[in-house]
Amino acid sequence: MHTPLDEVRDRPGLRPSQPGPAPRAPAGTGLAHPAPARLPDVVRAGRYPADELSARVRRFVAGTAVAAALVGITHGLLAGWLAHATGGPWSAARAVVDWPWPVAQQILAVVAAIALAAATGGYWRISRELSWPLLAATIAAALGAGPMVLVCAVTAAVWALIAAVVAVMVALVLMMLAA
């Protein structure tokens, strides 16, 4: 079975010794053994080039861009739904979603999502040279999407807690009826 690691080992001649004749240098080079490759050449021979960011960072950037785009699309709907809230937790949610101005988060999220898409030049070509613009766009996307994501996460957690309490109550009533 041939793996990318085998290709990296073959290139500088790092393959463990195997039974049989010793490896020979290419004809006409005059070398007894091939010269070892430089480290950047070895790293670039692997699966990911050395000048690109890791898969974890690419997934994080893609997730942030998607979240910011979704907030940009749905922020107006949530703000409109919360516009008539006058008391209780919904008015607090309205205050979080409308801070500091009613459409500021939506504009920031959309601009950051576009900046992330432009800075990456494609999901697989995020280079280290764009690290500062990428960091700035990611922070802007988090600031734009954060309040709405917080409101939605807290609302989902409260509804999940209510559903769990109702399920426990129904289970207790059924146990009491069965006994």
The pLDDT value given to residue 47: 47
In the chain, what are the domain boundaries? 1-50, 64-178
The pLDDT value given to residue 15: 52
pTM of the predicted protein model: 0.57
Judge contact between 109 and 48, C-beta under 8 A: no
pLDDT in tens, the chain (179 residues): 556 666 665 665 555 555 555 555 556 555 555 555 555 554 554 444 545 667 777 778 778 888 888 888 888 888 888 888 778 888 888 888 887 777 888 888 888 888 877 766 655 566 666 777 777 888 888 888 888 888 989 999 999 999 999 999 999 999 999 98
Question: How far is the C-alpha of 73 from the C-alpha of 67, rounded, in Å?
Answer: 10
What the block records as the tokens of 139 is 């922070």
The pLDDT value given to residue 116: 78
Altogether, the residues listed in the chain come to a count of 179
The pLDDT value given to residue 173: 95
The pLDDT value given to residue 25: 54
What the block records as the tokens of 110 is 């959309």
Using a 10 angstrom Cβ sphere, with 0-12 exposed, 13-18 middle and 19 or more buried, the burial of residue 119 is buried
CA distances from 133 to 54, 67, 123 (A): 17, 18, 15
Nearest CA among 21, 19, 46 for reference residue 37: 46
